[in-house]
Amino acid sequence: MEAELYLSVQQFLFSEARLLDERRFDDWLALFSDDALYWMPVRHNRLRESMDEAWESSKEIEDESGLGYFEDDKNRLTRRVGRLKTGMAWAEDPPSRTRHLISNIEVERTDRQDEVIARSSFLTYRSRNEGKHEDEDLFSGSREDVLRENKDAGSWFIVKRKIVPDWVVVNAQNLSIFF
């Protein structure tokens, strides 16, 4: 893998995390292509079918025909961001304070010359209100992004983001933040 490509993707993902933490949601939305998909499938526990079975974590995760916590296109993401600005998004009043940590980044080229797949791990901390224990959440998981070159900006567009949570049961009061 070319170091320049890897560093370019890494910087893009780090900059995106900063935009989310600074609540610069319009700038964050501009990182998405018009045909973008932002999707978090549901994860569930499952028992082994036999002791000889090779464990495949992918069998715990819904496929694209199954359930998801959300499955948003760019239009829906734009509406979600717009709602945050109205003061009517009660789940975000007061606004969450977040810290998005991105690591374990892997980049691979696709069949398309202008697209790559970026896999990463995330840890997102959220604090609300007075910072009481019940007002803090920790989310972890992995992401698989399809990124397309944004030739005008010398950067990337997010074409598809699949967010795979590590949790099976959401212990947070809501999932009103972005990952």
In a domain, 117, yes or no: yes
In a domain, 49, yes or no: no
Q: Which residue has the higher pLDDT, 97 or 46?
A: 97
In a domain, 175, yes or no: no
In a domain, 170, yes or no: no
- Does residue 165 have a cis bond before it (omega within 30 degrees)? no
Please tell me the pTM assigned to this model: 0.89
In a domain, 34, yes or no: yes
User: Looking at the chain, which runs of residues are DSSP E strands?
Assistant: 32-41, 68-73, 97-109, 115-127, 136-150, 155-165
Helix (H/G/I), strand (E/B), else coil: 142? strand
Measured CA to CA, the distance from residue 136 to residue 131 in angstroms comes to 6
Q: How many domains does the chain contain in total?
A: 1
Tell me the percentage of the chain whose pLDDT exceeds 90.
66
In a domain, 178, yes or no: no
Q: Domain limits at 103?
A: 3-44+62-165
Tens-place pLDDT, residues 121-153 = 999 999 987 756 678 999 999 999 999 999 888
In a domain, 102, yes or no: yes
In a domain, 53, yes or no: no
Q: What is the CATH number of the domain that holds 20?
A: 3.10.450.50
